[in-house]
Structure 1
Amino acid sequence: MKNRNANRRSISNEQRTRRFELRLSEVERKQFLELEKALGLSRADIVRIRVLQHSKKMLVNTTEIMKLLDGIGAQIGRSGNNINQLAKHANTLRQQGMLHSAIMRDFAPLFTEYIRLQRKLEQSVRRLIRLMRGQT
């Protein structure tokens, strides 16, 4: 709870004397409590940050996003490994004189598309990181 008190002091030195009531269903209340726990912020701070300070920004569970990004990174690594294996096999076939030009002709557009998608994914990840930092 030490973190909550530090957040309160850093947000404003002004004494808060006004109350604001929010009605929630039981499901919404449970969601709010889970959000509070995941973000490590008080309910009041979540509302203040979301509504008053950063109304155009989104509160995110960075732990969950990092897990998802880690999974994406693992998949990209596997793809790169597969491409290296294909390249090694193609070189072996070329050295043996068994690599047909039709295979390379068919492979080139697929590899080009892979590179395009990987660049697009990199741009999306960079944008997501900027959004998480609040730099939109």
Structure 2
Amino acid sequence: MAKDELFPRKIRRFELRLSEPELHQFLELEKSLGISRADIVRIRVLKNSTKMLVNAKDLMKQLDLIGAELGRSGNNINQLARHANVLHKRGMLGHEVTTEFNSLFTEYLKVQQELEKLFRQILRLMKG
């Protein structure tokens, strides 16, 4: 397949009239997404008119915060498990504590699985 077939030359111009506030908003969008104005229009209007443009920088920042929080949760769970093991070896671990821990851990695993599903959906949307 020839290069021109994959990436046809852009020879037509399209003019868009905007108010000053709209222009500033558009320029901010271009800056935050890190893609050209022409690509914003092409993506939004021609390719994926039903999909939403995403500020990748903000999204990655939020995903990083969620990942850090998951890491802290994992560390806390490991600390609790170690402490429970010590108490168990000393015969000081009550049945109600084990039952409550298992219940909370099961709920944590459900939330983590739901987050994984949402992350996969986000990645699919970002790919387009």
- TM-score category by the smaller chain? 0.7 to 0.9
The residue aligned with 1:5 is none
2:18 corresponds to which letter in structure 1? R
Match of 1:68 in 2: 62
State the one-letter code of the partner of 1:84.
Answer: N
- Change over 3 Å in CA distance of 1:32–1:11 after alignment to 2: farther
Distance 2:112 2:38 in 1: 40
Which residue number in structure 2 is paired with residue 103 of structure 1?
97
CA distance in structure 2 between the partners assigned to 1:32 and 1:13 by the alignment: 25
1:84 aligned to 78, 81, 101, which one?
78
- 1:128 maps to 122
Gap change, CA 1:11 and 1:30, over 3 Å in 2: farther
**TM-score, normalising length from structure 2?**
0.85
1:58 to 20, 45, 52: 52
State the match for 2:11 in structure 1.
Answer: 15
Q: 1:24/1:48 Cα in 2 relative to 1: closer, same or farther (>3 Å)?
A: farther
Identity of aligned residues (%): 54
Q: Deviations over 1:84-134 (max 9, x none)?
A: 000000000001100000111122211111000000001101110111111
Gaps of 5+ in 1: 1-9
Cα root mean square deviation, aligned: 1.9
User: Under a length normalisation based on structure 1, what TM-score does the superposition of the two structures give?
Assistant: 0.80
